[in-house]
């Protein structure tokens, strides 16, 4: 029996072949020729050699994977890669990190020691002693006229009396704030460009795909020049944001969700792809108990128009209505809680949302106990203070806004989104509101926010 149970590969000689051979021998008995036995042995030896060689080649291919099985029954066993890997597959991450790391800086936010100890800013105005209040990260993205510009987060530089940038070499330089935008949590700083040669390349965040490997570079927990790696969990995630950090969600941010570790101090640093391009600015993470690997970065396609506006104007120009508000839903929840409390005292105000600055802090005023709203009206925004265009048009304390133009407004988040995404400076705006239970409408012109408003 041969290796294959098939006559094509068999070394056996069939009965028919032997019979034919005997006939030929009788027909040409008198002709001189070589021995039939000798010729058969040569053929058998040659065939055996060929079969052995074929078997060796076949077995070699089966065991090494270097042989193309085509579409035969063994085709599914073909290895995914038949070529030999000649370089370290992780070298790509090393090269990408090396390309960007010199452009990543640590940001030090210094504030008055007296203010940090609880003194009012005006009382501490004469104090000179500053101390480190916050740490963050940033990335150098352009070099212009002897200066370099750095992108970071607005919350990294908030309330700073002085700012410093620590280069990857360890050198510390004074930094100047060009502008910051709390709505998008972005800021731009400027430092002297002497000796700085590396500028990060800004990529197109729309090219990101779920599952793509990315890296976060920054200054987590004060450990400067630190690198973490993960994948893109979702390319476009919309999350609610509390601008005043008071638990009231009054804005929505479009972000890239990643599972790369982003810790305190990483904020403002770059999220890069394996080509060393900045695809996002690390901004926040979910730090609830039991939550791991949920971090967020602001996409570069969303960030760069804001950055350009900060460079051009020192701020982001947006249409300004001029109202500080509380959501009706929040107010009704507080009233219900007050009714359930024993002792009859009111719960503390859990936070109110202003249109631009966040928490309302003018005089701590809360809405009167009875807004005189129709029973079917359970959503809207209560005006706690009207300034600028709103005051000029006649809006007052305790008015409840329920519509802007034809758009229903149920919360401060709705109000902001409609103003910032659908209107522009100079546009007219119809405001529908309730005052003392009566539905009214007024028209005003949106303008840019003036200094001091």
Phi, psi dihedral angles at 356 (to 5 degrees): -120, -45
Q: Give pLDDT tens digits for 185-199.
A: 999 999 999 999 999
Mean pLDDT of 222-242: 89
Residue intervals of the chain classified under CATH 2.40.10.120 are 87-316
The rounded distance, in Å, linking the Cα atoms of 36 and 50 is 21
Of 389, 385, 396, 333, the C-alpha closest to 361 is: 385
Q: 265 falls in which pLDDT band (50, 70, 90)?
A: confident
Pairing mode, strands 277-285 and 201-202: parallel
Question: Of 106, 205, 267, 309, which is the active-site residue?
Answer: 267
* pLDDT reading at 243 higher than 50: yes
389 and 321 Cβ atoms separated by less than 8 Å: yes
* Residue 172 pLDDT: 95
The rounded distance, in Å, linking the Cα atoms of 380 and 250 is 13
Please identify which residue in the block is written with the tokens 């999350």: 239
134 and 144 Cβ atoms separated by less than 8 Å: no
- The CATH architecture annotation of domain 319-448 reads Roll (2.30)
**404 token code pair:** 């802007």
Mean pLDDT of 321-331: 93
Q: Give pLDDT tens digits for 115-165.
A: 777 776 655 555 568 888 889 999 999 999 999 999 999 999 999 999 999
Q: Give pLDDT tens digits for 337-379.
A: 877 775 555 444 444 455 554 435 444 456 665 688 998 999 9
pTM: 0.73
Q: Give pLDDT tens digits for 22-73.
A: 444 444 334 444 444 444 565 666 666 666 666 655 555 554 454 444 444 4
Based on the residue annotation, tell me whether 52 is a catalytic residue of this protein.
no
DSSP string, 81-143: --SPP-S-TTHHHHHHHHHHGGGEEEEEEEEEHHHHTT--TTTTTT---EEEEEEEEEEEEEE
* pLDDT reading at 17 higher than 80: no
* Residue 49 pLDDT: 66
- The CATH architecture annotation of domain 87-316 reads Beta Barrel (2.40)
Question: Of 149, 155, 205, 226, which is the active-site residue?
Answer: 155
Running DSSP on this structure, what letter comes out for residue 222? G
The rounded distance, in Å, linking the Cα atoms of 201 and 206 is 15
Question: Of 185, 225, 356, 414, which is the active-site residue?
Answer: 185
Longest dimension (CA), the chain: 136
Residues 6+ apart with CB under 8 A from 350: 246, 247, 248, 330, 334
* Residue 83 pLDDT: 44
Cα separation values, 409 from 40, 370, 403, 422, Å: 100, 20, 5, 13
Q: 288 falls in which pLDDT band (50, 70, 90)?
A: low
Burial class (CB in 10 A: 0-12, 13-18, 19+), 262: buried
* pLDDT reading at 16 higher than 70: no
* pLDDT reading at 439 higher than 80: yes
Running DSSP on this structure, what letter comes out for residue 359? B
Residue intervals of the chain classified under CATH 2.30.42.10 are 319-448
Residue 318 pairs with which residues in a beta bridge?
none
* Residue 426 pLDDT: 96
Based on the residue annotation, tell me whether 155 is a catalytic residue of this protein.
yes
* Residue 225 pLDDT: 82
Based on the residue annotation, tell me whether 267 is a catalytic residue of this protein.
yes
What SS3 state is found at 418? Answer: helix
Cα separation values, 323 from 317, 385, 393, 452, Å: 17, 6, 12, 14
* Residue 292 pLDDT: 63
Q: Give pLDDT tens digits for 111-121.
A: 988 777 777 66
């Amino acid at each position: 029996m041969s290796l294959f149970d098939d006559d094509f590969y068999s070394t056996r000689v069939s009965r028919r072949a032997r019979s034919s051979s005997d006939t030929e021998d009788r027909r040409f008995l008198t002709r001189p020729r070589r021995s039939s036995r000798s010729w058969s042995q040569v053929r058998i030896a040659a065939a055996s050699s060929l079969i052995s060689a074929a078997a060796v080649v076949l077995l070699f291919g089966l065991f090494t994977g270097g042989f193309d099985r085509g579409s035969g029954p063994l085709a599914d066993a073909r290895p995914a890669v038949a070529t030999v890997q000649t370089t370290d597959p992780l070298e790509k991450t090393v090269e990408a990190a090396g390309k960007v790391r010199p452009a990543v800086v640590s940001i030090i936010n210094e504030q008055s020691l007296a203010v940090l100890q609880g003194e009012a800013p005006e009382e501490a105005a004469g104090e000179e002693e500053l101390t480190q209040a916050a740490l963050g990260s940033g990335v150098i993205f352009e070099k212009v006229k002897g200066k370099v510009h750095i992108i970071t987060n607005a919350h990294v530089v908030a309330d700073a009396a002085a700012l410093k940038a620590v280069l990857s070499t360890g050198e510390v330089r004074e930094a100047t704030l060009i502008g910051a935008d709390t709505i998008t949590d972005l800021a731009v700083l400027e430092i002297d460009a002497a000796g700085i040669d590396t500028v990060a390349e800004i990529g197109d965040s729309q090219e990101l795909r779920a599952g793509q490997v990315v890296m976060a570079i920054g200054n987590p927990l004060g450990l400067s020049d630190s690198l973490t790696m993960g994948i893109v969990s979702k390319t476009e995630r919309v999350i609610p944001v509390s601008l005043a950090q008071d638990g009231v969600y009054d804005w929505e941010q479009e972000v890239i969700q990643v599972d790369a570790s982003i810790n305190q101090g990483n904020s403002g640093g770059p999220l890069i792809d394996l080509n060393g391009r900045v695809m996002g600015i690390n901004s926040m993470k979910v730090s609830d108990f039991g939550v791991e690997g949920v971090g967020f970065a602001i996409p570069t396609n969303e960030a760069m128009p804001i950055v350009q506006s900060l460079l051009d104007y020192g701020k982001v120009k947006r249409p300004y209505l001029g109202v500080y508000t509380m959501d009706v839903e929040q107010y009704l929840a507080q009233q219900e809680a007050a009714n359930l409390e024993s002792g009859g005292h009111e719960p503390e105000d859990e936070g109110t949302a202003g249109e631009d600055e966040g928490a309302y802090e003018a005089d701590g005023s809360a809405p009167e106990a009875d807004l005189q709203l129709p029973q079917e009206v359970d959503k809207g925004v209560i005006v706690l203070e009207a300034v600028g265009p709103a005051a000029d048009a006649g809006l007052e304390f305790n008015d409840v806004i329920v519509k802007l133009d034809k758009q229903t407004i149920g919360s401060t988040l709705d109000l902001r989104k409609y103003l910032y995404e659908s209107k522009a400076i100079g546009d007219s705006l119809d405001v529908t509101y309730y005052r003392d239970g009566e539905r009214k409408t007024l028209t005003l012109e949106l303008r840019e926010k003036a200094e001091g408003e």
